[in-house]
Every structure is written in C-alpha cells, then in structure tokens.
C-alpha cells in the first residue's frame, strides 16, 4: 500500500457505512449507555498484544519477542491469542464481552507520536486541536462527559462542557517518563544518581504502603468507575495510559504495562457494577510498531495497530478485521503491519449504535470515516431490544 | 563561543529564563542586552504598603484588646495572609512577564540577602513589603543606600526585634527596657562584613547600642507609621566599632551615630568581598573562581558599592560565561523559568504559588535571616528531584493541548537555544506523548541548570 492509499483509507464517506447493528450485545439494560475511551499513548505493539500465532512469519520476524510469550499466550479463536498478562480480558472474551479488531489505522501516515495522537483524537482526518471525535459525539447527544486528566484531552474537546478530574496529590509522571529520564541522564552522573536514589526511596515507601506507582492506572480506573456508576453518573469518560513506546526491553515493559491495563479495566468493570451491562469500553492507540523486532529487544514506530472493544454491551467473543499477513510483500513499506480498515469506521459503528446516533450526527463526529471491509453480519454491538434498526446509514 | 550560545546564557543564567524570542534578541549583543536591563523597579500595583498594613495591624490589635470575647473581634480590614500572598504572586508575575529579567533576578538576590520571614501576624503582613519598598527602588544605587533603607524599614526592624531595643542607660532603659543585639549581629554577620570578618562580640554590642532607639511608630497612638527614632531609647555615649570612634550626637541627631556606622560598614572592604562572593555564587557557580570575585570586588571598591557598576563587571567578565553551566536552579528559578519558557495560561497566581510551595521555596518562609540557600547541593536531593519530575509532569499534563499549537522543537529552541544537547533533543522529540516531551524538556540537564 502506498502512502496515498493509506490516506484514502481515511477518506471514504459515511454513506459507505452500511452495517447492520454492529457491535452491541443482547438487550439494552435499563441503565443509560456508557462509553469509556482508553487512549494508550506511545503506540502499543499489536503483534505482542493480540498475537497472530497462526502467521508463519511471526517467529521469524520476532525471534526473541515472540519466544518470550509463546508458551503462555491466552488463546482466543482462529489462531489469535492475547498476551499472557491480559487475563481479565481473556475471561471477557470467553464471556463474549471482548471484541478485538486487527490491523486498524486512523489513516495517519507518518510516525510521530504527537501528531499521530492528535490526528486520532481529532477524528477528522486531519489535526485539529480544538475538536475531538468523542467531544463532538458528547455534544450531539448531550451526554455528560468526564476526562480523567488535568486538562481536557483533544478527544473530548468540542463546544460542550466536559468535566476533568484528577487526584490532587502530585502523581503525574508515569513509569515510562521516569525511564526516559534515566536514559536522558545516562551521561550526567549527578542527576542519574539522584533520580535512581529517588526511585529507590519511592519504591521502599510504596512497599511499606500498599499503593504502587504501577497501580496508578488502576486507581484512576477505580475513580473513573465511581464517577460514572448509576443513573446520575457520567455517560462518558476518557482515561489515558502511557508507557507503550517500547523501543527496547519490550517483553518486560509490555508484560508490566499490559498487566496494569488489564487490572485497571477489571477494576473499572467491578466499579461499574450492573452498569457494566450497558457499557462499551474502547481501547486504542495512535499507531502500531514494526513487524520485525529491532536490535534492542524492542520495536520501532509502525503503522497498523489493534483496537479493542469491551463491556457488557459488546457482542464479543470473536476477532474482527482482515488479517493482512506478515510476509514481506504483505507488510506496509516492507516493515509495518498493513492497515486493512480504518479505526474511525469501527468507532463510528459502535458509537452510532450504542448512543443511537443518526447518520447526520455521525457525519459530524467522523466526517471522513471510511467503509469497513466486508461488513456483512458483524453485529459488533449487541442488538438492542427495541430493534435492529439503529444503523449507521 | 557562538553568539547564540551566549544569547542563551544571557537569558537563562543572568536572566530568569528565556521567554519566546528572547534568545534571538539577546544573541545580537548579549552583554549590551543585559546591561540595558539594569534599573530600579517600581511597584504601582495598588497593593498594600507597609504603612497601610501597620495601621490595619494596630487596629486589629486594639479591637482584640477591647473585646471581651474573641467572637467580638472585628475581622481585620486587611486579610494579612492573603494580602501577603497577593504581593508575592504579583512580584513573581512581574518577573515572569518582564523583558528585563536580569533586574528581577537581582531583586530576588537582594531580597534573599536581606531575608525576612513571615513568622507571626505582623511579619506575615509586612515581610513582602521590604523588597518592594527598600530594595526595588535601590537596585541601581549604591549598596549603602539599600542598606540604610532596609535597616530603617519596619519589616526588618520588627523581624530582628530592634523596634524594642533600648539602651540600658537611656530613659527607657532606666525604666527597665533592655538592649536587643539581634539586628546588629545580623547586619555584621549577614548583611555587610560576613562571618569571620574580624569583628567581635564587642562590636556587636556597640552597633546594637548605636541602633537602640531605631524603632517603628505606633500608628494609633502616635498617628504615624514607619521608621521612628526614639531619643529616649537611644543609648547615650561615644561608640567604638571596628576600632573607629563614633561620637555622641544630641537629641534627634542621635540617629546619625548608627547611620554613620552603617555607611562605613557598607563601604568596608570585607563587605565588598562578602557581597561580591555572594553575587558570583548566585550568578555563576557555587564555588566561583577567585579571579571573578576579584573583578567584582575591584568594581565594587572603585565605585563605592555601586550595584550597577558591579553588575557591569560581572557581565563583562569572561568567567561569567563559562560552560557547562554550574548552577542548579533553585525551586523559584525553576518555576519562574518554566513559566517564562512555556508561557502558558496555566501559570495563574495559584499555580505559581503552589509551585513554589510544593518545590520548597515559598516566599518569605526560609525561617532564617540568612535566607534560602544559594548552593545547588541544598536543592538537589533525591526526593526533591522526584518532586520536580512530578511537578513538571503535572504542568505538562495541563499544558499539553495548549502547547500543541507549537512544535516541541520550537519550544525547546525558545527555551534553550543552541545550548540544548543532541541527547536531550532526541529524548524530547522521541517522547511518547506531548506531555512526556514537555516533562523531559523541563527535567533535562540543560533546563535544570543555568
């Protein structure tokens, strides 16, 4: 695929979205439909998360990375498997509450984190710092939205008011930021010693208490649930989690990061209680990573990544999206997983059904969304009792 | 050294941190750019003066005495803590916005040199007025002028208890009031000669006696505010300080005895050495070179302590421009340079105040007349560094979408110019998110030091 084609992926009109009630599960419960958008900043490696064990090229491309998890991956269907850390997500899959999608892209064609995130969050097919797809949906449906952040992320920006909430004590820097700083200080003995000592001290202090820095996302997810639960709670929230830019030591870092993500989502489910049944959780990232592992046990910036839908309202238990293959010919620019569908299409479909959005409304949310390949019979969201008629078109 | 590196040093080491466009402007002629910044600072922001605060304090005191129960006390007309906070925030904001930040750094330096702490109601109210009223107007004067203004200021007189120091043989002394050596000792040890400069306990007592009667008016009873010389509290007699005799002056002229001593102290070679060492330490290195100190001291002695001349010598000295940078930013410098460099609306007064408090340098809270330390090792603890990381990340988290209209590359260039290392540039540009990029920039070795 040429860059031109990739751009085209983001350019097909909403009219092409002709999907029968795509993703929602069984009956709509009494509770109001809730949405949680989890943005993984830093580009999650899809092949290490949603593992295509059936692809003969995987072991060759990733001799050490694949080996690190091969024995322990959690099988899904059709030869796909989840990373061993994702135990809760695996259980949800079996309960048909998890729906992974392979090889998606926002249509962003370069490999800069900043621009890639801005692009994905805007949902417009171009970067706009003042308007995000979830914000426009919230505005269209008059929903109450909450960002678990200190400032409203682009995703939730629109003319509508969005609340932000973040714990007041200073605990903003992620483990990934500390790791980057340690690296930055490698040639500065004074600062690297100080930072290492500081981290050691903090670890000691944390092991005396029970909370850990790594549990930060878990705490945020718990708070997020309590701010959403019940009819008076928020309809929509956004969580962010960094630490995915795994240029080196990926096996360990993802084992830790995915564990934190998995635990956090489990805590979110627990906190939502019966509202879980009317909740859709969306987990996405700005782009993927190179198919081949690099020389430092990691992967570099790539193109297509994976997208996950979870929640009681999701008609899950299957892996969707078209697998492009990992042969050299199949790879995008001979290095990245090739995108076969546009993220916005999946987001539009799920959001449209879950919040019962009209075509007009969806066109405002995703003006440039593309068609889904072979969209027949996907039923991503469990069909609501009242009808199957909530179509994207 | 290229002019653009010098421009970055001018803005970051001498100034309080580069504002957008500043390094470019400074690079044309860094030394001239700095020298034209030296001037007195005026405050016309309508915030309370020491005089107004003294009246409010006195009224509150009177109401408390009269009231039978605390509940009957009227709230003071000025909320002392709040007004103090407002004043400190206003100073920080002016420093953040200023195009003459060298001047504001100099104000911070002398404010810390003549440190007062907000302990107790009166000092909570008055501490922030000292720098505004006695230091800022004298930044381009001789040190002697500044010293006299400071020692006559009610904040300093009250902080170091001189307003109630009376000579044992004065009228007040004979009624049982006594001498307090506190101010005299700190003038010799901290403000002028410096410790180990050869003065003794006898000199402390002699200066204290000369200063007895230097007091503060009682706003209600005397219908006046500010400095007052109380003849009836002044110790009579000739005094000897550092071997020099200062004769007794009659009546209200008694004030001149201490004034003459202060002028001599301000112009003493030990004072020149002490202050020049502190200036060199503040601007250039924790352990400044002897050559640099000598250049400053020479300028000081030649100009009788003219602060502008000394600063010009500092700017002219090659030692002041050395790389790599030797100074680790204090919390105040870190907060202010961040606000200047990132120039974001998140830096409202509350954010500035909480930043200073969180990082450990709340204005007028050093708790010591010696002020806050000016040495990196006192600020560079492991957990202090962790707090800086967390604070930077929280600023970055709030700033990310405001900053997103500007590339990380541009922000980095406007903060550090050509002094940014390849390593830092790569880390920032390869960060996994905008907020991480900004955190790494603020916590980079180049931004932590100046």
Q: What is the pLDDT along chain A (393 residues), one digit of tens a residue?
A: 454 455 444 443 333 343 434 556 545 445 789 999 999 999 999 999 999 999 999 999 999 999 999 999 999 999 999 999 999 999 999 999 999 999 999 999 888 888 899 999 999 988 888 899 999 999 999 999 999 887 788 999 998 878 878 776 667 788 889 999 999 999 999 999 999 988 887 776 665 544 444 458 998 899 899 989 988 889 999 999 988 999 889 999 999 999 999 999 999 999 999 999 999 999 999 999 999 999 889 999 999 999 999 999 999 999 999 999 999 999 999 999 999 999 999 999 999 999 999 888 999 999 877 534 334 445 666 644 333 332 222
Total count of domains within chain B: 1
Tell me the backbone φ, ψ of residue B4, rounded to 5 degrees: -70, -35
Query: What are the Cα distances from residue B222, in Å, to A304, B77, B158, B340?
Result: 81, 20, 17, 45
Is B253's pLDDT higher than 90? yes
Which of B344, B358, B401 would best serve as a mutation to test chain A binding (most A beta carbons within 10 A)?
B401
Which candidate, B327, B338, B281, B314, places its Cα nearest to that of B16?
A: B338
DSSP letter at B361? -
Coil/strand/helix, residue B241: strand
Structure tokens at B24: 């470019």
For A373, how many CA atoms within 13 A lie in the half-sphere containing its CB? 15
Structure tokens at B350: 């509350």
> Chain A contacts of B402, Cβ < 8 Å?
151
Residues B331, B343: Cα–Cα separation, whole Å: 17
Output the pLDDT for position B26: 97
Structure tokens at A203: 């670890």
Q: Is A187 on the interface with B (CB under 8 A)?
A: yes
A·B CB contacts under 8 A: 116
> Is B339 a member of any domain?
yes
Q: Tell me the nearest-neighbour CA distance from A202 into chain B, angstroms.
A: 8
Is B145's pLDDT higher than 90? yes
CATH class in words for A3-365? alpha beta
8 Å CB contact of B397 and A171 = no
Output the pLDDT for position B133: 98
Which residues of B160-242 form beta strands (DSSP E)?
Answer: 214-216, 227-229, 239-241
Q: Where are the domains of chain A?
A: 3-365
8 Å CB contact of A191 and B445 = yes
Q: Is A43 on the interface with B (CB under 8 A)?
A: yes
Please name the residues in contact with A65: beta carbons below 8 A apart, sequence gap of 6 or more.
Answer: A48, A250, A251, A293, A297, A299
Output the pLDDT for position A169: 65
Which candidate, B9, B95, B21, B24, places its Cα nearest to that of B406?
A: B21
Question: Is the separation of the CB atoms in A155 and A39 below 8 Å?
Answer: yes
Q: Measure CA A54 to chain center.
A: 23
Query: What are the Cα distances from residue B163, in Å, to B150, B242, B260?
Result: 14, 24, 19
Structure tokens at B35: 């020298």
Q: Measure CA A393 to chain center.
A: 25
Output the pLDDT for position A16: 39
> Is B188 a member of any domain?
no
Question: Is the separation of the CB atoms in A88 and A331 below 8 Å?
Answer: no
Q: Is A116 on the interface with B (CB under 8 A)?
A: no
> Is B362 a member of any domain?
yes
The terminus-to-terminus CA distance of chain A in angstroms comes to: 28
Please name the residues in contact with A79: beta carbons below 8 A apart, sequence gap of 6 or more.
Answer: A52, A53, A54, A55
Question: Is the separation of the CB atoms in A44 and A285 below 8 Å?
Answer: yes
> Chain B contacts of A172, Cβ < 8 Å?
390, 393-394, 396-397
Output the pLDDT for position A164: 77
For B128, how many CA atoms within 13 A lie in the half-sphere containing its CB? 24
Is B100's pLDDT higher than 80? yes
Chain B, residues 372-411, CB within 8 A of chain A, namely: 380-383, 385-387, 389-394, 396-402, 404-405, 408
A337: left (phi over 0), alpha (psi -120 to 50) or beta: beta
Q: What is the CA radius of gyration of chain A?
A: 20
Q: Tell me the nearest-neighbour CA distance from A10 into chain B, angstroms.
A: 22
Question: Which of A157, A172, A202 has its CB closest to that of B397?
Answer: A172
Q: What is the mean pLDDT of the segment spanning B313-334?
A: 97
Residue whose token pair is 């987001």: A347
> Among A387-391, B332-336, B400-404, whose mean pLDDT is lowest?
A387-391
Q: Is the dihedral of CA B16, B391, A151, A303 positive or negative?
A: positive
Element (H, E) at B276: helix B269-283
> Is B352 a member of any domain?
yes
Output the pLDDT for position A302: 94
Question: Is the separation of the CB atoms in A137 and A36 below 8 Å?
Answer: no
Residue whose token pair is 């003319």: A159
> Is B263 a member of any domain?
no
Structural domain of B436 = 331-448
> Is B391 a member of any domain?
yes
DSSP letter at A277? G
pLDDT > 90: what percent of chain B? 82
Residue B59 CB-density burial (10 A; 0-12 exposed, 13-18 middle, 19+ buried): middle
> Chain A contacts of B411, Cβ < 8 Å?
none
Residues B36, B14: Cα–Cα separation, whole Å: 13
8 Å CB contact of A173 and B393 = yes
- Helix spans in chain A (H): 3-9, 58-61, 63-70, 87-94, 113-122, 133-141, 175-184, 189-208, 216-228, 250-272, 343-354, 359-365
Output the pLDDT for position B406: 74
8 Å CB contact of B390 and A191 = no
Higher pLDDT, residue A387 or B121: B121
Output the pLDDT for position A24: 62
Q: What is the mean pLDDT of the segment spanning B46-61?
A: 95
Structure tokens at A249: 């030591």
Residues A247, A301: Cα–Cα separation, whole Å: 8
Residues A315, A80: Cα–Cα separation, whole Å: 18
Is B143's pLDDT higher than 80? yes
Q: Is A182 on the interface with B (CB under 8 A)?
A: no
> Is B10 a member of any domain?
no
> Among B175-184, B398-407, B411-420, whose mean pLDDT is lowest?
B398-407
> Chain A contacts of B430, Cβ < 8 Å?
245
Structure tokens at B242: 């550092």
8 Å CB contact of A187 and B423 = yes
Question: Is the separation of the CB atoms in A74 and A84 below 8 Å?
Answer: yes
Which candidate, A371, A367, A324, A316, places its Cα nearest to that of A349?
A: A371
Supply the pTM of this predicted model. 0.79
Chain B, residues 340-379, CB within 8 A of chain A, namely: 346, 358
Question: Which of B346, B397, B443 has its CB closest to that of A181?
Answer: B443
Residue B237 CB-density burial (10 A; 0-12 exposed, 13-18 middle, 19+ buried): middle
Output the pLDDT for position A210: 44
């Amino acid at each position: 695929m040429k860059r031109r084609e990739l751009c085209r992926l983001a350019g097909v009109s909403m009219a092409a979205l002709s999907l029968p009630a795509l993703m929602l599960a069984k009956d709509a419960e009494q509770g109001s439909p809730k949405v949680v958008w989890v943005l993984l900043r830093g580009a999650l490696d899809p092949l290490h998360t949603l593992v295509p064990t059936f692809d003969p090229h995987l072991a060759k491309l990733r001799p050490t990375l694949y080996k690190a998890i091969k024995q322990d991956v959690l099988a899904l269907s059709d030869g796909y498997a989840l990373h061993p850390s994702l135990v809760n997500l695996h259980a949800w899959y079996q309960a048909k509450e998890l729906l992974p999608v392979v090889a998606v892209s926002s249509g962003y064609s370069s490999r800069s984190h900043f621009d890639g995130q801005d692009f994905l969050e805007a949902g417009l097919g171009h970067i706009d710092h003042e308007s995000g797809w979830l914000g426009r949906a919230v505005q269209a449906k008059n929903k109450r939205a909450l960002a678990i952040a200190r400032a409203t992320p682009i995703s939730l920006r629109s003319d509508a008011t969005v609340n932000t909430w973040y714990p007041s004590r200073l605990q903003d820097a992620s483990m990934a930021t500390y790791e980057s700083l340690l690296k930055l200080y490698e040639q500065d003995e004074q600062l690297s010693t100080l930072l290492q000592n500081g981290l050691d001290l903090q670890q000691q202090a944390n092991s005396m208490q029970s909370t850990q820095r790594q549990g930060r996302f878990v705490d945020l997810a718990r708070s997020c649930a309590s701010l959403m639960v019940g009819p008076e709670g928020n309809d929509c929230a956004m969580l962010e989690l960094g630490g995915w830019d795994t240029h080196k030591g990926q096996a360990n870092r993802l084992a830790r990061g995915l564990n934190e993500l998995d635990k956090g989502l489990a805590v979110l489910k627990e906190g939502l209680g019966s509202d879980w049944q009317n909740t859709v959780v969306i987990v996405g990232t700005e782009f993927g990573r190179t198919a081949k592992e690099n020389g430092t046990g990691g992967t570099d910036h790539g193109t297509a990544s994976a997208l996950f839908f979870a929640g009681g309202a999701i008609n899950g238990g299957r892996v969707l999206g078209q697998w492009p293959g990992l042969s050299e010919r199949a790879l995008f620019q001979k290095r990245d997983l090739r995108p076969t569908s546009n993220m916005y299409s999946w987001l539009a479909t799920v959001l449209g059904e879950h919040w019962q959005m009209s075509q007009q409304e969806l066109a405002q949310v995703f003006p440039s969304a593309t068609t889904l390949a072979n969209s027949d019979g996907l039923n991503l969201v469990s069909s609501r009792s009242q009808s199957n008629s909530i179509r994207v078109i | 050294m290229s002019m653009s590196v010098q421009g970055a040093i001018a803005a970051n080491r001498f100034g309080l941190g580069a504002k957008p466009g500043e390094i470019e402007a400074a690079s044309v002629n860094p030394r001239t750019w700095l020298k034209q910044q030296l001037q007195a600072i005026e405050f016309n922001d309508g915030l309370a003066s020491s005089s107004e605060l003294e009246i409010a304090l006195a009224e509150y005191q009177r109401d408390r005495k009269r009231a039978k129960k605390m509940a009957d006390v009227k709230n003071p007309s000025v909320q002392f803590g709040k007004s103090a906070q407002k004043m400190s925030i206003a100073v920080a904001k002016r420093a953040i916005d200023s195009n003459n930040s060298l001047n504001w750094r100099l104000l911070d330096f002398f404010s810390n040199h003549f440190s007062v702490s907000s302990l107790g109601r009166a000092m909570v109210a008055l501490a922030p007025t000292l720098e505004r009223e006695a230091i800022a107007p004298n930044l381009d004067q001789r040190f002697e002028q500044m010293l006299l203004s400071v020692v006559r200021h009610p904040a300093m007189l009250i902080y170091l208890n001189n307003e109630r120091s009376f000579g044992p043989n004065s009228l007040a002394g004979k009624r049982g009031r006594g001498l307090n050596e506190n101010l005299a000792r700190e003038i010799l040890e901290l403000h002028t000669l410096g410790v180990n400069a050869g003065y003794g306990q006898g000199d402390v007592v002699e200066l204290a006696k000369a200063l007895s009667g230097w007091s503060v008016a009682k706003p209600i009873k005397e219908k006046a505010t500010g400095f007052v010389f109380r003849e009836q509290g002044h110790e009579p007699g000739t005094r000897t300080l550092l071997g020099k005799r200062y004769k007794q002056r009659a009546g209200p002229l008694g004030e001149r005895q201490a004034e003459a001593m202060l002028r001599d102290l301000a112009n003493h070679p030990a004072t020149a050495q002490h202050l020049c060492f502190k200036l060199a330490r503040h601007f250039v290195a924790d352990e400044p070179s002897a050559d640099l100190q000598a250049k400053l001291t020479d300028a000081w002695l030649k100009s009788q302590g003219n602060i502008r001349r000394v600063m010009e010598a500092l700017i002219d000295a090659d030692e002041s421009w050395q790389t790599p940078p030797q100074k680790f930013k204090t919390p105040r410098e870190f907060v202010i340079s961040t606000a200047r460099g990132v120039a974001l609306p998140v830096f409202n007064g509350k954010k500035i105040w909480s930043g200073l408090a969180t990082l450990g340098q709340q204005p007028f809270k050093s708790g010591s007349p010696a002020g806050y330390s000016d040495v990196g090792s006192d600020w560079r603890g492991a957990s202090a560094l962790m707090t800086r990381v967390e604070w930077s990340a929280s600023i970055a988290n709030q700033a990310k979408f405001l900053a997103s209209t500007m590339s990380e590359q541009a922000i980095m260039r406007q903060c550090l110019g050509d002094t940014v290392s390849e390593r830092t540039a790569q880390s920032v540009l390869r960060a996994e998110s905008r907020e991480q990029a900004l955190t790494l920039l603020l916590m980079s070795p180049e931004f932590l030091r100046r």
